[in-house]
Amino acid sequence: MLSFFKDYKYFAIVFLIISLIIVTIIYNILDVEKPLPIYQPAMVNFELVDSTIQHQKKYHKIADFSLTNQNGKTITQADYKDKIYVADFFFTTCQTICPIMTDHMVYIQKELKNDPEVMLLSHTVTPEIDSVPQLKKYALKKGVDDTRWNLVTGDKKQIYDLARKSYLAVKDVEGFDPYDMIHTENFMLIDKKRQIRGFYDGTNPEEIKRLIADIQKLKKDSE
Return the exposure string of 96-105: e unless at least 16 CB atoms fall within 10 Å of the residue's CB, then b. eebeebbebb
Q: Do 149 and 107 contact (CB within 8 A), yes or no? A: no
Residue 183, annotated ligand binder? Answer: yes
**Residue 73: HSE in the Cβ half-sphere, 13 Å Cα cutoff:** 12
Phi-psi region of 168 (alpha: psi -120 to 50; beta: other; left: phi over 0): left
Q: What angle do CA 219, 207, 107 make, to 5 degrees?
A: 75
Longest dimension (CA), the chain: 87
Residue 94, annotated ligand binder? Answer: yes
Residue 60, annotated ligand binder? Answer: no
**Residue 46: HSE in the Cβ half-sphere, 13 Å Cα cutoff:** 5
**Residue 62: HSE in the Cβ half-sphere, 13 Å Cα cutoff:** 28
Best CA proximity match to 167, nearest among 87, 70, 84: 87
Phi-psi region of 32 (alpha: psi -120 to 50; beta: other; left: phi over 0): beta
- List the binding residues: 94, 98, 183
- List the binding residues for Cu cation: 94, 98, 183
